Structure formats: C-alpha cells, structure tokens
Chain A
C-alpha cells in the first residue's frame, strides 16, 4: 500500500497529488492553488507553502529562491462573510 503524505493539512492535499499536477505543467504555487486549493484553508499556506515551493524547485531543477512565492492578498486569516457584510467599525 502506498503511504500518503499530507502536505496541505487544511485542504487535505497529498504530496503525490502535488507532484502529479506539477508534472502536468501546473508548476507555480498560484496555479496549484487554483487546481488543488492548497493554501486556501484556515492557515492560508503557512504550513504548506514552503514544502510546495521546494517541490516545484526540485521538479524544475532550479533553486527555491527562483520559484515565485505566489500572490498574497487580504485577508491573512479566514473571516466570516457576515462581519464583512456588516461593514465593521461599529
């Protein structure tokens, strides 16, 4: 039995899945995020981003410093839509 290694715990994405998608040409963090939701859970990539960037670097044979880290947008942690809809600043 093949042993699964979970890389993105929030979205339960395995190392094998990440490698498969990199091999299909989805070799940037943002592309993987769009197809697999890595980095879109509660931790917003704090756990998986470094591991995924290293995998991309390994697959492309470049140093990890040359792999784009992807886009960082607010919010930095999940927020309930309701509190945004209310407009805040009560």
Chain B
C-alpha cells in the first residue's frame, strides 16, 4: 500500500497552499484532487481579488492559480500529484484512505498526516420544477463559461445577490449572455458594492426582498415566476420572467463528509455556513493527525483559504519533526497576522464571530 507523510485532500487554493508549505518544510506530500486539473475554483476566477497585498489583492484569481502552479513545479520532487482522483473513505480503525482514479482504478493510501481541504458545494433551494434542465448552480455556470468556453444559454435569471451571484452575472454579460434580473431574498445586497454597481450600471435590476416561486417550461426552462416577499410571506403579484437559464447563487456549504467519517468534533456554525470541524490555532482538528483548511473549515474567501492552507501545511510538517520550534513560532505568528488582516473590519465581522464558536487555542492532551 502506498504511504505518504502528508496527504492533502483537495487541490484548490487551500490544499495547494498546504501542500506547498508542507513540502517546502521538508515533508513528503501526496496531493489529490477529484477534478481533472488542480486549482479548484481559482482556475475560473477571472475577477481581481480583494484582500491584502500579501494575498495578492488586485491579481485575477486564475493568475494566482498560475503562481501556485509555478511554485508547485519547483517542488515537484516532494509532491506527488493525483488528479481525477476522489477520496472515497477514511477508515478510522487503521487510518487508511481509499481512493478512486476515474471510474476504474481503486487504491489505498496510508498517510501519517492528513490535510482536509475539500472545499464547498453549492446550495440548492426547493421550488416547483427546480429539476428542469436549465436550472444551474452559479458556480457550475462559471465553470462552463470560464473553463470550457461554453455559454449556458441566452437569457439568465440570477437568484442571489451575494458575491458569486453578482460576479457571475457580470461574467455572463461579458460572454454576451443577457441577465434579466438578480433576485435577492434579503433586504440588502450580500456581495461587495463594487460588483453590484458594475451590473447596475449595465442596467440589470437587482430585486431585493424577492424570491423565485417556480420555474416554467416543459422539457427545459422557458421562464420563471418571481414574487416580492414581505414580513408575512409572499406579497404582491407574481411576475413572469422570460429566461432559458435559472442560476442559483444561494450560498455554499462546507464539504465535510470525510471530516465526519474521520470522527472529527463537528459544530454547526451559521456564520460559516454549516457544520465545520472544531480546530485549534494550528488548524488541527480534534483528530490529532488531521488538519483542515479553506472552505471545508467554514465558507470564507480564497485569500484566507490560502493562508489557512499554509498554517495547516506548516502544522503537519512540524508534527513530523521537520520544523524547528523557532521557525514554527515565526511562521505561525506571520500567518495569523495575515489572517487577522484579511478578517479585519466590518466585512470580517461575521467570520470572526463564527470562528469564535469553533476555535480553541490548543487541544487538551
């Protein structure tokens, strides 16, 4: 059976960073990702990142991905990469992980340490005919367009005015697709104003306190019905919108199956959008050889996911005896400084309060 010092599960911004950090500190790393290429959501993010200088604010997401790939190239002797490879199970009894490459190849790895950077999945909402072809997750639409160069349709109704809904609406328009409206259940826009302003300037209405009531169409989507929402539920007249695509950008939830399988202490934290593992200041879970990073640790942004990945990779490397205490302390302090910078101010308030509920300084031994 294959063995490895550090198994990193998920090669998005968090996992890539964890693998790079652990390898650069002298660990032998195996990095697996279920997709055909590494990079997670970075490879389709054509917008410029916010955040801070250290986290390459002002650079487009896919460019940040390229920088990480370049770093990976320099460490390729220490990082064994497996794409198109999904972790199927974690077996607590003996610490073995089972995986499949594609549909045919099944194998096992026994790692000494694991970093779970499994990311997030898109939420769905129930409404009549939500299973018609033409109802998409916004992330899926972004993948179709920006990775595969395929536009999903001609006219889109976007559900959700968070950052994903706003950014994907703008990118749809850049690709020549008409956006009929952005519908948002909450009384306020969830995403950054700059993204909202861009699509408003192009004449797309953002309808706050509105919801989708049903999708229309027989074999495929031909429209949608939306309606205003008041304190007592739906109010006003239902409005028919003509569209061939309904795009759901109603939030993400952490991908946590493997953390559950591994028996990590889990906690429901609404601010982090679902169940997340309790973790210490080293991003270590209650299972002493398992670390967590990125959206799997709570829905946040790629910038902080990358720093969390660094922390997890550093922690895993130190636990294997590869990092001197003084180097570790310096690394820890610097990464935490970068994280607090990213989470500062009003925008970070929700994240800070969520993290307070699931963090501890150190696990009791």
Contact = CB atoms under 8 A, between A and B. Distances in A.
Given A50-B253, A69-B275, A74 B261 contact: yes
Contacts of A80: 103-104
B274 interface: yes
Given A5-B130, A6-B130, A51 B124 contact: yes
Interface in A9-29: 9, 12, 15
Contacts of A9: 131
A6 B131 contact: yes
Given A6-B131, A46-B121, A69-B275, A76 B104 contact: no
Contact of B128 (A4, A47, A72): A4
B88 A75 contact: yes
B23 to A, nearest CB: 25
Contact of A89 (B107, B126, B275): B107
Contacts of B88: 74-77, 79
A13 B121 CA distance: 20
Interface string B31-60: 000000000000000000000000000000
Interface SS, A side:
loop
Given A76-B257, A84-B106, A89-B1, A50 B274 contact: yes
Contacts of A47: 124
B140 to A, nearest CB: 12
Given A75-B98, A76-B87, A44 B130 contact: no
Chain A residues touching B, range:
20 to 34
Chain B residues touching A, range:
35 or more
Given A50-B123, A65-B268, A88 B257 contact: no
Contacts of A86: 106
A7 interface: yes
Contacts of A5: 126-128, 130
25 contacts: A3-B128, A3-B214, A6-B130, A15-B126, A44-B257, A46-B255, A50-B253, A51-B124, A64-B268, A65-B270, A69-B275, A73-B89, A73-B261, A74-B89, A74-B98, A75-B98, A77-B100, A79-B88, A84-B106, A88-B98, A88-B106, A88-B108, A89-B1, A89-B2, A90-B107
Interface of A: 3-7, 9, 12, 15, 44, 46-48, 50-51, 64-65, 69, 72-77, 79-80, 83-84, 86, 88-90
